[in-house]
Amino acid sequence: MGKKKMVAAAHFSKERVFRVFLVWFCFWGLLSLTCAGRLSASRQNFEVHKHLRRLNKPAVKSIQSPDGDIIDCVHISKQPAFDHPFLKDHKIQMNPSSVPEWMFEENKVSEKPKERINPVTQLWHRSGVCSEGTIPVRRTKREDVLRASSVKRYGKKKHRTVPLPRSADPDLINQSGHQHAIAYVEGGKFYGAKATINVWEPKVQSPNEFSLSQLWILGGAFGQDLNSIEAGWQVSPDLYGDNNTRLFTYWTSDAYQATGCYNLLCSGFIQINSQIAMGASISPVSGFHNPQYDISITIWKEGHWWMQFGNGYVLGYWPSFLFSYLADSASIVEWGGEVVNMEEDGHHTTTQMGSGQFPGEGFTKASYFRNIQVVDSSNNLKEPKELNTFTEKSNCYDVEVNKNDDWGHYFYYGGPGRNPKCQ
């Protein structure tokens, strides 16, 4: 064989070996990536399954709600709260140690026929009830957990969402994507609050946005150690997988970082009521120039922080040891609406707050909070001395406070989001 042919053959042989090596390298690389992907998916499935087992306790009875929810009637001693290490030997307190006089009083409602307010219920009640000794728990589904950014973050707020009415830099607040229209009191010690909230079903533009109406019980600084107890109604496709209006609660003792969660999605809140389910759909809701429906929520300090829904439904309590600043009292109370504005198309969201109408539209059009009160150190309900208001962008969502004999301190609030003056 000639020298040139030998060189060419050697070159061909090396090239062939390289190609074979490259093919095998790519094959094993792809196989590794595939295996890594499968391992990652398997690990995620395991974590989701483990989390679902932790949240969905064995049910005495299960109820299929018309909206697709499954409500599990769980024995009161088996509820998620008792996964908390400090609650392993906790003796459930079935009632506050002392019963305030106002607990079973009827709300004041105007005698004018047009302002008659109707009571609301929860959708699952159409299909059954839970017996005494159990609590209704909305069953968490696999797809609920998968919508979260991670299994660990499921049931937790993504950002600090408390409005900062005293902030000197409103633009700093807007960066979080959350906007508010609220009334608030500060500058004292508060041992709870009450309000009756008009229930609507606002339109939410994007699945990762929400619209809610609630009250906040706050303690500490608006930094890393904020304590907050919250309750109201919300529309949150990301959390619930639909656009239904739902009753919710939330708590945190470290400004939404690691502690706390919505409803019963972590250990903390101890439920004692067998008739109301946290996170379940509220029905019916208010309509334009149609019957108006509202819910009354009271949170007050009696050893623990207790919550009442309507008249007579004491839902349960947040043990005081969960908190630092709220272990004694609150320093700020807020009432109002909140939305997430993701500006996904470069414009302000069309997500509605409240009814989607501005406050000036009034009764049967705008959403309201009425009979706004705070709880003093003697567990008496008092009208707030000075009710302030706050909103980041009043052209998008606004709030107007007023007072009369029937509704006491009240306000209309809300808005449509994007409009000619809000882009």
The residues that are catalytic are: 230, 338
How crowded is residue 364: how many other Cβ atoms within 10 Å of its Cβ? Answer: 17
> Is 400 in a helix, a strand, or coil?
strand
Q: How many CB atoms lie within 10 A of CB 18?
A: 10
What's the N-to-C CA distance of the chain in angstroms? 81
Cα dihedral across residues 31, 32, 36, 37: positive or negative: negative
Tokens of 203: 């339109």
Q: Which of 232, 181, 215 is nearest to 390 (CA)?
A: 181
Please give the Cα distance from 112 to 110 (Å, whole number).
Answer: 5
In 123-191, DSSP assigns E strands to 134-138, 178-190
Long-range contacts of 343-347 (CB under 8 A, 24+ apart): 343/177, 344/205, 344/206, 347/418, 347/423
Q: Are 261 and 151 contacting, i.e. CB atoms less than 8 angstroms apart?
A: no
For residue 356, give both structure tokens.
């989607």
Residue 133 CA to its chain's centroid (Å): 26
| CA separation for the pair 402, 181 (Å, rounded) | 15
Q: Which two tokens stand for residue 32?
A: 């590794």
Task: Provide CB contacts within 8 A for 192, sequence distance 6+.
Answer: 217, 298, 299, 300, 301, 305, 330, 374, 375, 379
Task: Show the 3-state SS of 262-309.
Answer: ECCCCCCCEECCCCCCECCEEECCCCCCCCEEEEEEEEEEECEEEEEE
Which residue in the block uniquely carries the two structure tokens 């109408």? 357
SS3 33: helix
